[in-house]
Amino acid sequence: MTLAREPGRRELNKADKQRRILAAARDLFFRNGYSSVTTQEVADQAEVGTGTLFRYAQSKGELLCMVATERFRAMVETVPDTGGPVEDLVTLCDPLFSALENQPENIVAYHRETVFGEPGPHRAEAQRILEECCLIVSREL
């Protein structure tokens, strides 16, 4: 039997930096909109260097994918199966419509980055979630 080991200081430090970068990017994109935010501002608010920031997200587009994917992953994972296709679709799409209403620039930029952005792990995750949404919608139809 193998016991899981406690994360070491290095892992905890990396997780803390990633959490701070995610929180800073989320806050700045929400308050100022995607096009107005610089990676330097995100790094400054997260209290990390820009080199460190780029280890966690290779570009500003990857930062946006990291932020939005967190929200949309939860959306896909919590879709109830009520047996009513219309209700299921409304539940699935409601967070997206809400985000689109409140922050259209960010949602447009997110989808542009998801489809046309530079390859990266956060973009790949965004594409996986988009594919999962399409599968859910096709099952409902």
Average pLDDT, the chain: 84
Residue 64: pLDDT over 80? yes
Q: Which of 3-7, 98-102, 108-112, 136-140 has the lowest mean pLDDT?
A: 136-140
Residue with tokens 């259209």: 104
> CA 32, CA 38: separation in Å to the nearest integer?
10
132 CA to centre of own chain: 15
The structure's pTM equals 0.76
Please answer whether residues 25 and 67 qualify as being in contact, where contact means their C-beta atoms are separated by less than 8 angstroms: yes
What's the pLDDT at 140? 59
- CA distances to 4, 6, 30, 53 from 16, rounded to whole Å, are 20, 15, 21, 12
> CA 67, CA 61: separation in Å to the nearest integer?
10
